[in-house]
C-alpha cells in the first residue's frame, strides 16, 4: 500500500467530520478531516505539499489519532498526492499523456527527489505572497522551485487557498521535511510578530526544534497566510538534516515522537 492509499483508507474509515475539498491535477481527491470542536482556536494543518516529503502524511494520521484538547484543527494529510506518488513509486503514477513531459522535466526516471505537482509547479511557491521574488525561484517547469504561470495556477494550491478562505482559520501549520526547525516570520508587523512568536514558542517547546527565519523565500502557503490573511502561520521542518530525502517510513517513529503533540501544544497556547 502506497502512502496515498494509506491516507485514502484512513479517510474512508474516519468517523469524524470530513470532506473532499478539491482535486489534484490528476483528479485525485484532496482529503480534509477535522479533530476537536468548532470553538476557537480552529486551525488548518497541512502536509506533503512537496512530493518527496510524503512521510509527513503519515504524521498527519498520527495527529488525527491523538487529537487536540482545545479548539479544533482541519487536518489535510496530503496536499500534493500526484507529486507524492511520483516520488514514492515513480513515473507509473502519472497518466500516460504526461509521462514524456515529466521525464524531460526530471531528466530521467528517478523521481525520488521530486517536489512539484505533475505540471512541474512547486506548490509552495505558487501563492500570492511576493510571488516570483524568492531567491531560488525558477520560471519554467522543474522538479522544484517553479513558481507557475501565475499565483494559484495549480489545482492543488488553488483548492488549498479556497478551503483556507472558506474555513477562515485562526492559524495554519505546514509540515515539511527536513531540518528540525520552525519558520514563523514573513514581513509581519512588530505587533503581529510578537503575537506569532508566542505561538511559535509553543511549537518550539513541544518539538524541541529552534525558531528560524527563511530569508529569501516567497510565495509559500505560510507566507500567504501571514501576509494576505494576517493570521499566525508556521512551517515545521521534521527530521534531522543529516538524513537524505525522501525520508522513509522508518523515520516516522522519531518524527512522531518529537512532533506528535505539537498541535495540542499550539492550540493550548492561544
pLDDT of residue 201: 98
Evaluate whether 227 touches 187 at the Cβ level (below 8 Å). Answer: yes
Domains of the chain, residue spans: 3-268
pLDDT of residue 215: 86
CB burial of 100-133 (b: ≥16 within 10 Å; e: otherwise) equals eebeebbeeeebeebbbbbbbbbbbbbbbbbbbe
Burial of 248 (0-12, 13-18, 19+ CB in 10 A): exposed
- What residue ranges of the chain have pLDDT lower than 70? none
pLDDT of residue 180: 98
Residue 83 CB neighbours (<10 A)? 34
> What would the pLDDT profile of 125-162 be if each residue is shown by its tens digit?
999 999 999 999 999 999 999 999 999 999 999 999 99
- Report the top-level CATH class of 3-268: alpha beta
pLDDT of residue 214: 84
> What would the pLDDT profile of 104-113 be if each residue is shown by its tens digit?
999 999 999 9
Report field, pTM of the whole predicted structure over 0.75: yes
Q: Dihedral (C-alpha) 171, 177, 183, 184: value to the nearest 10 degrees?
A: 0
Amino acid at each position: 500500500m502506497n502512502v496515498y492509499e494509506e491516507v485514502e483508507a484512513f479517510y474512508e474509515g474516519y468517523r469524524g467530520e470530513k470532506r473532499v475539498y478539491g482535486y489534484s491535477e490528476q483528479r485525485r481527491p484532496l482529503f480534509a478531516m477535522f479533530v476537536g470542536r468548532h470553538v476557537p482556536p480552529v486551525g488548518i494543518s497541512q502536509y506533503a505539499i512537496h512530493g518527496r516529503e510524503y512521510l509527513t502524511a503519515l504524521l498527519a494520521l498520527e495527529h488525527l489519532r491523538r487529537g487536540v484538547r482545545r479548539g479544533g484543527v482541519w487536518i489535510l494529510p496530503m496536499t500534493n498526492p500526484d507529486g507524492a506518488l511520483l516520488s514514492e513509486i515513480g513515473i507509473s503514477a502519472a497518466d500516460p499523456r504526461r509521462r514524456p513531459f515529466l521525464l524531460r522535466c526530471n531528466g530521467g526516471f528517478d523521481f525520488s527527489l521530486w517536489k512539484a505537482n505533475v505540471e512541474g509547479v512547486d506548490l509552495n511557491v505558487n501563492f500570492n505572497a511576493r510571488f516570483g521574488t524568492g531567491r531560488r525561484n525558477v520560471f519554467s517547469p522543474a522538479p522544484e522551485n517553479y513558481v507557475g504561470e501565475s499565483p494559484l495556477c495549480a489545482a492543488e494550491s488553488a483548492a488549498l487557498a479556497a478551503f483556507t478562505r472558506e474555513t477562515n482559520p485562526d492559524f495554519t501549520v505546514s509540515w515539511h521535511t527536513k531540518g528540525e526547525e520552525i519558520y514563523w516570520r514573513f514581513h509581519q508587523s512588530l505587533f503581529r510578530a510578537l503575537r506569532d512568536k508566542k505561538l511559535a514558542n509553543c511549537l518550539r517547546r513541544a518539538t524541541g526544534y529552534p525558531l528560524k527565519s527563511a530569508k529569501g523565500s516567497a510565495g509559500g502557503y505560510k507566507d500567504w497566510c501571514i501576509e494576505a490573511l494576517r493570521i499566525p502561520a508556521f512551517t515545521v521542518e521534521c527530521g534531522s538534516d543529516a538524513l537524505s530525502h525522501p525520508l522513509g517510513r522508518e523515520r516516522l517513529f522519531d518524527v512522531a515522537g518529537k512532533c506528535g503533540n505539537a498541535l495540542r501544544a499550539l492550540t493550548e497556547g492561544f
